[in-house]
Amino acid sequence: MSATIKDIARKVGVAPSTVSRVLSNKSKYYTSETAEKVKAAARELGYKKNQAAVELVKKQSNVIAAVVSSVKTNFAGQIIDGIQSEASKHGYNLIVVYSNSASAEEQRKALLTVIERPVMGILLLSIALSDDNLNMLKESDIPYCFLSMGFDDDRPFVSSDDMEIGYEATKFLIDKGHRRIGLAAIDKYPYTGRLRLAGYKKALSEVNIVPEDSWIQSGDYSYTAGESAMKAYGKDTELTGIVAASDMAAIGALNQARSLGLHVPDDVSIISIDGTEMCQIVQPQLTSVSQDFYKMGVVGVQRIEESVNSKTKSQNNQQLIPVHIYERDSTK
């Protein structure tokens, strides 16, 4: 029931096209006098652009969509922050839709909500798409980019170098003098876990160590996975250092270690992967291999922008963001 461009046109006594041009700042098609009158009328009538109409005719909008696997990943916020700030720098709007990655049907619904309107690009945050849904995405011809996870195939993504993460975390402990080092709560088979595991093994092999099977406790990056891993290592573990798959896993391991009567870092050192603010609110504060999630968001938006501008597929569409180690109190 709200005012349209035609109402304004009638009120001012000009054509709708003129109003449109004034309101979208297509300069040089009207006098500043007309412009003023139009703007005044628009204000007065409380005019709101109907984006549906705009998008219908322009077949392009200035909104970027982010599909997030779940509200629970505690770094999603940082990525979104990055996206938001870069997007708003370029005048794009951001809408986020959440999808429980467990269900392909939920994924599909989330994806459709964004595909069915002319968004300028889609960013996927740590979401594992089913084949059908990935196909749907590809066929939509909307630029997209995965964030914080990598792939074997040629899908565009920006993430950390997971091999480097595994390597650097392990190397850090090795340099501190540790030799018997565990890897906790990591998912061994998917791309990310596989690379981190490879990095871990590489670092160990450089000092001629082959990890025993029991050193590697796989899991799903969760708090409880961290707990279970620590439980499996046990009170009398031979390990002196642990690389935890995520902050939450590290905290799980940390708390479980305390329950077992182990002191961190005196009895066992823990280094965490991710480096969210969680690391700083637990005690002892967790040493971490920190990913630059904010930057991932920023770069993600830039990739979308490139895809939009140069219709030709850029060749370098898989980008790695460097990580940094922050030494805190959980290692020695």
Partner DNA sequence: GCAAGTTAAGCAAACGTTTGCGCAATTAGA
Partner DNA sequence: TCTAATTGCGCAAACGTTTGCTTAACTTGC
Contacted by 284, from DNA, its own copies, none: CB < 5 to 8 Å by type: none
The DSSP line for 305-316 is HHHHH--SPPS-
Q: Strand 157-160 and strand 318-321: pairing?
A: parallel
Rounded to the nearest angstrom, the gap between the alpha carbon of residue 122 and the centroid of all alpha carbons in its chain is 12
Exposed (0-12), middle (13-18) or buried (19+): which is 67, by Cβ within 10 Å? buried
Q: What phi, psi does 270 have (nearest 5°)?
A: -130, 130
223 binds its own copies (CB under 8 A): yes
* Eight-class DSSP state of 236: T
The tally of CA atoms less than 13 A away on the side-chain side of residue 15 is 5
User: What's the min distance (Å) between Cβ of 63 and DNA?
Assistant: 15
282 binds its own copies (CB under 8 A): yes
Rounded to the nearest angstrom, the gap between the alpha carbon of residue 1 and the centroid of all alpha carbons in its chain is 39
Contacted by 93, from DNA, its own copies, none: CB < 5 to 8 Å by type: its own copies
User: What's the min distance (Å) between Cβ of 106 and DNA?
Assistant: 22
55 binds its own copies (CB under 8 A): yes
Contacted by 317, from its own copies, DNA, none: CB < 5 to 8 Å by type: none
278 binds its own copies (CB under 8 A): yes
Contacted by 71, from its own copies, DNA, none: CB < 5 to 8 Å by type: its own copies
Determine if the peptide bond prior to 156 is cis (ω within 30°). Answer: no
CB 246 within 8 A of CB 274: yes
Positions in 10-39 near DNA (CB under 7 A): 13-18, 20-21, 23-24, 26, 28-31, 33-34
Q: Tell me how far apart the terminal alpha carbons of the chain are, to the nearest angstrom.
A: 67
Near its own copies by CB under 8 A: residue from 6, 26, 89, 109: 109
Radius of gyration, CA atoms only, the chain: 25
Determine if the peptide bond prior to 265 is cis (ω within 30°). Answer: yes
Contacted by 31, from DNA, its own copies, none: CB < 5 to 8 Å by type: DNA
43 binds DNA (CB under 7 A): no
**How many CB atoms are closer than 10 A to CB 131?**
8
Which stretch, 30-38, 109-117, 160-168, 193-201, contacts its own copies (CB under 8 A)? 109-117
Which residue, 63 or 299, has its beta carbon nearer to its own copies?
A: 63
* Eight-class DSSP state of 102: T
* CA–CA distance, 306 with 314 (Å, rounded to integer): 8
* CA–CA distance, 312 with 332 (Å, rounded to integer): 50
Which stretch, 28-36, 172-180, 277-285, 305-313, contacts its own copies (CB under 8 A)? 277-285
210 binds DNA (CB under 7 A): no
Binding mask 89-108 for its own copies (x = CB under 8 A): ----xxxxxx-------x--
Binding mask 44-73 for DNA (x = CB under 7 A): ---xxxx--xx-xxxx--------------
* CA–CA distance, 112 with 118 (Å, rounded to integer): 11
* CA–CA distance, 271 with 324 (Å, rounded to integer): 12
Chain residues in the site for its own copies (CB under 8 A): 1-2, 46, 48-53, 55-56, 63, 71-72, 76-78, 80-81, 84, 88, 93-98, 106, 109-110, 112-113, 115-118, 139-141, 223, 248, 251-252, 255, 258, 278, 281-283
Chain residues in the site for DNA (CB under 7 A): 4-6, 9, 13-18, 20-21, 23-24, 26, 28-31, 33-34, 47-50, 53-54, 56-59
